[in-house]
Amino acid sequence: MKKILILFWVFTTFCIAVGFAQERTITGNVFEQGSDFGMPGVTVVVPGTTTGTVTDMNGAFTLSIGTDVSSIQVSFIGMQTQIITLGQANHYTIYLENEMIGLDEVIAVAYGTTKKSSFTGAASTVKGESLTKMQSANLAKSLEGSLAGVQITQSSGQPGAGGQIIVRGLGSISASKEPLIILDGVPYEGSLNSIPSQDIDNLSVLKDAAANSMYGARGANGVILITTKKGKAGDFRINFDSRYGVNTRGVPNYDIVTNPAEYYELSWEGLRNSYLGHLGYAQAGITASNDLIANSLRYNVYRGVADNELIDPFTGRINPAATDKKWGNEWETEPFNSGIREEYNLSFSGGTERSTYYASFGYLSDKGIVDGSEFDRLNARLQVDQRFNKWLKLSGNVAYTGTIQNSVSASGASQGNVFMFTQMVAPIYPVYMYDLNTGEKQLDHNGNPVYDYGEQTGRPFGTMANPVATTKANINDNKADNFNLRGSVDFNIIEGLTLTVNGAYDLYFNTYSSFLTPLGGDAAAAGGLGYKTSQRYTATNFNQLLNYSKSFGAHTIKALLGHETKTNKNNNLSGNMANFFDPSNPEFANASSYRSLTSGYSEYALEGYLSRVEYDLSDKYYLSASFRRDGSSVFHPDSRWGNFWSAGASWRISEEDFMKGISFVNNLKLRTSYGTQGNDNIGTWYGYDDQYVVRDVGGQAAVVFSSRGNPDLTWEKSNNFNVGIESYLFDRVNLSFDFFMKDTKDLLFQYQLPLSEGLPSYQWRNHLDMRNTGVELDMNVYVLKKQDISLSVNMNALHYKNELLKLPSSKDQNGYAEGVFWRELGGSIYDFYDFQYAGVDQVTGRALYYRYEYDHYGNATITTTDDITEATMQKTGKSSIPDLTGGLGSTFTYKNFDASFQTAFQIGGTVMDSNYQSLMGSRPGTNYHRDMLKRWTPNNTDTDVPILENDYQSNMTTDRFYTSASYFSLRNVTFGYTLPINVLERANIKSCRVYLTGDNLWLKSARKGLDPRQSLNGAVGFNYSALRTVSFGISLQL
């Protein structure tokens, strides 16, 4: 690997040196027609090359070009592109006129680029400048609300944590639902947190068959094309961007009880009510007052009040003398703090007509709001293009990213989960040990406060747990080194015929080390637990592409033939040990109990043959067709190969003669496509073979059956239909609308084998068919387009319906339950199936549940019961799939000032709010949601909150806790100011912009503390909160 890197650096240095010969420098000024004000940000390039520059704040430009260059191309969004013929002069004055926006925009597509006006597929694009506004270490989170048809979920706000990307609905159940990532033309296997947004030039999402069928067996869930920045010919440029900010909690706690007196009163009431079954009302109150601290809660936070006198047994109210607290509510303050976020990016670029280069370096330090959670990234990239002559061009791109992610337990019901524990623990318990009589904090022999794990006093909630202590003592380190090497050679064989050979080699090293302290928490009983994992993953990709393009008269034909091979290799080693001697030493040499040690090797290979034909008539009518044949090692040789194809057409209606008189229609295009894609990312590389594991049997190594292979297993296939319309109206409104229907067949299903197989096991089968039908809207309105002031508004929205078209033959065809979901023909994969809450018995105050009893005719008799074991699970009529998702944003500029905002929203859908459910119980030591104040009492019988009774029936899992998944999020707000050029000229600075930017500034959901963005299947948990980040930054161009 070192030799490869050395050779690459030698090659790029040579390329740079070769290109600096035989050039001239031209200058110019660009103005809007009819105006004397220069236009900033105008692109000036040499046609057919990457040689170019942009105008400064005064509309001036300087460009170094070869002496044989005869013309330059000048373009700006919303203006007519001009080709300027060069003569002997070295200075040019250029005027641009208004034109339809975006038609000549070049967008990335499968295995190449194309003009947006001629593209027959459906794609959305976001520029790198928009992505850099977002302050997330993971690229997926930066896309929320920005692209039509794209949904983003983020289960964790931990720095460096990823998000899930879903394009146009749910593409699978058991296999991967996420799109294929293409980085600079080659599939990318790494984490998106390894790609700095500052290195991205643009990002495109391909959504229909005409756009992504060229990726065959991997394109069923959409394709994301990421194009990194390249150098442009011209003066040597230095760009530097620095930002410094603060991370705070972006989603608050649920509305929990924080007043100890209020908590004692509620707990006393629950205890009193639990005694009423065998004691009289008065005696139950007296017993509850006596037992509240001594036998239930164990802690009395108030000084000077006896334990049995804390609550008046006859009124249930707190003793008026209970005012002096021995300790405060430390769980609100001790676990959390503000984290510092620092990011620095430096890039160099430049070159000539023949040779261009771009180099970048970056560093990110992103500290979370809990001690022990942080993400550090160091990245470097070098990209070089070298044209040796008219028929030969070489390109190279090498990148390194090193990341260190330290994380804390912050999901699920783990006692070490600080976000769960701090909301579930009652506000009467301290973080540190105190003398329960005097309230004096206890210190160790070093003078440090001693943590309270609850074991000495028998705290009823979280005994042997203290996440403040364990997050400081535990270790969860994930270190990764990623190397990405890409190169290409372009041969211009004859006019119109080119051969491109692309190669890529990605190398990923990953080491994970976890240590759970023996002092307390989840691993205390095991004497501490240690895990170590090491992984080496390589991905190699080669493709050869033969492109032909020919124009004759009004006709243009383009054709592509290609071949692609891909190989992934994975080596891993992992171990697990317990019972650590020194609680501060995480190394295995410090442990005595061996748990496991395993290693593995796996390999994946894919080969594909691809073709595409495009036809253009008069820049008005467009046809396209593609075909790809793929073979994947995931499947048995007899069913390894598959065919994928697409056909598309578009018609620029606005170019017809009958549209010439309609002046407000600047552009109108109708397009449609149909085709097939596949998905071989099915969660296993060897699903067609029987699987065995090695076990110790009687002291001898033996193999034990694990899972049954299926030689008929094949990829999930999608048939995708799309029809859309694009328009540009009144010189201001860009509007596109799409209807799509995607049928996914042969969905993977994990079939549970009968016990006659010998052991509980399963087999992967292709059994389900599913359909996603929806509409998609994308709109951009240029409200103002003046020299000194501009205002644009953008909006996108997606609505889709998911339905099952075929059920497994082994299942009841009238429908069946799969966990908490009901699967039936015509229903979605996320239709909830659960017990139904019937409210509160107004006499007893107990929770009631519906019970269905059916006669032999199938008629139901519906009754209620207060015993959940007698209730009946039913279809709830609710689904986690939202009715509408999207985003709304705006950008405003006035002279040197700029401002922008971006939002994301979701309307409809349902989440199972298990967090709220946990807080609506009545178990000793567990906190309450403030809705518990609405509970049933003899004086409040008209309520849907059951009586407090210290039981396990009042908050059972039912549709009572289903909550709207709607939300509105203010994703980003940015304010900037660009210093005047006359101020900067003295310091030889071309541009300087200072800005203030904020992420995750506000979230509105159905309940305080609820974040519906955590998942698509309606499951939410006490997970690491999304971060609110506010930063100040400065961008310089030298």
Where are the strands (E) in 517-581, listed by range?
A: 529-552, 555-580
Eight-class DSSP state of 926:
B
Burial class (CB in 10 A: 0-12, 13-18, 19+), 87: exposed
d(C-alpha 324, C-alpha 550), whole Å: 88
What mean pLDDT, rounded, does the chain reach? 89
Answer yes or no: are the C-beta atoms of 761 and 705 closer than 8 Å: yes
Q: How many helices (H) and strands (E) does the chain have?
A: 10, 49
Assess whether pLDDT exceeds 70 at residue 10.
no
Report residue 177 as tokens.
Answer: 């639902």
| H-state helical runs in 631-770 | none
Mean of pLDDT values over 69-78: 80
- When pLDDT is averaged across residues 596-618 and rounded to a whole number, the result is 93
Average pLDDT over residues 520-543: 92
Give the whole-angstrom CA distance, residue 806 versus residue 770.
Answer: 7
pLDDT digits (tens, 9 = 90+) for 100-157: 445 556 777 888 878 877 888 888 888 888 888 888 888 888 889 889 999 999 889 9
Residue 899 has pLDDT above 60, yes or no: yes
- H helices present in 42-99, as ranges: none
Please state, in angstroms and as integers, the Cα–Cα distance from residue 569 to each residue in 3, 508, 536, 541, following that order. 21, 10, 8, 12
Q: What is the mean pLDDT of residues 690-696?
A: 83
Q: How far apart are CA 1019 and CA 1021, in angstroms?
A: 7
* Rounded Cα distance, 748 and 171, in Å: 11
pLDDT confidence tier of residue 21, bands split at 50, 70 and 90:
very low
Task: Give the neighbor-by-neighbor strand order of the sheet with 71-75.
Answer: 52-54, 43-45, 71-75, 82-85
Q: Looking at 24-28, 385-389, 617-621, 762-766, which range is the least confident one?
A: 762-766
* Paired sense of beta strands 967-978 and 150-153, if any: unpaired
Whether residue 472 contacts residue 372, with contact meaning beta carbons closer than 8 Å, is answered with: yes
pLDDT-derived band at 701, boundaries 50, 70, 90 = confident
| Residue 8 confidence (pLDDT) above 70 | no
pLDDT higher than 50, residue 523? yes
- Please tell me what DSSP assigns to residue 519: T
**Which pLDDT band, with edges at 50, 70 and 90, does 381 fall under?**
very high
CA distance 292 to 37: 79
Read off the tokens for 762.
């399963």
Residues 46, 72 contacting (CB under 8 angstroms) = yes
Residue 317 CA from chain centroid, whole number: 48
- SS3 state at 70: coil
Sequence-distant (≥ 6) Cβ neighbours of residue 859 within 8 angstroms = none
Give tens-digit pLDDT for 984-1024: 877 888 889 999 999 999 999 999 999 999 999 999 999 99
pLDDT of residue 488: 95
Question: Which of 300 and 107 is assigned the larger pLDDT?
Answer: 300
Residue 712 pLDDT > 70 = yes
Residue of 739, 714, 573 lying closest to 639 (CA atoms) = 714
133, 874 Cβ separation under 8 angstroms: no
Predicted pLDDT at 587: 93
The Cα 93–Cα 80 span in angstroms is 16
| 22 has a pLDDT exceeding 80 | no
The answer to whether residues 719 and 745 touch, using CB atoms and an 8 Å cutoff, is: yes
Which of 110-124, 331-345, 392-406 has the least mean pLDDT? 110-124
Give the C-alpha separation, 341 to 364, whole Å.
8
Return the exposure string of 970-980: e unless at least 16 CB atoms fall within 10 Å of the residue's CB, then b.
Answer: bbbbbebebbe
Question: How confident is the model over 245-265, as pLDDT tens digits?
Answer: 999 999 999 999 999 999 999
Using alpha carbons, select from 650, 618, 628 the residue that is nearest to residue 123: 650
Sheet holding 91-96, edge to edge: 60-66, 23-32, 91-96
Nearest Cα neighbor of 234 from 95, 348, 393, 77 is 348
Q: Residues 972, 143: contact at Cβ < 8 Å?
A: no
Closest CA to 182 of 427, 512, 539, 650: 539
**Cα separation of the two ends of the chain:** 35
Contacts of 662 (CB under 8 A, 6+ apart): none
pLDDT at position 774 is 96
Assign 284 to helix, strand or coil: helix
Q: Comparing 29-43, 373-387, 517-531, 577-591, which segment has the lowest mean pLDDT?
A: 29-43
Range list of β-strands (E), 698-732: 700-707, 716-729
What is the Cα–Cα distance from 630 to 216, expressed in whole angstroms?
6
Distance CA 224, CA 220 (A): 12
592-597 long-range contacts (CB < 8 A, ≥24 apart) are 593/526, 593/527, 595/529
What is the average pLDDT across 189-195? 86
Angle (nearest 5°) at CA 123 between 153 and 778: 75
Per-residue model confidence as pLDDT tens digits over 454-468: 888 889 998 889 999
Q: What residue has token string 């243009």?
A: 556
Question: Does 217 have pLDDT greater than 80?
Answer: no
State yes or no: pLDDT of 411 exceeds 90: no
153-156 long-range contacts, CB within 8 A, separation 24+: 153/1013, 153/1014, 153/1015, 153/1016, 154/1013, 154/1014, 154/1026, 155/411, 155/1014, 155/1015, 155/1021, 155/1023, 156/410, 156/411, 156/1023, 156/1024
**Domains of the chain, first to last:** 2-96 (2.60.40.10), 259-328 (no CATH)
Please state, in angstroms and rounded to a whole number, the distance separating the CA atoms of residues 644 and 666: 36
Whether the per-residue pLDDT at 99 is higher than 60: the answer is no
pTM over 0.75: yes
Residue 1038 DSSP one-character state: -
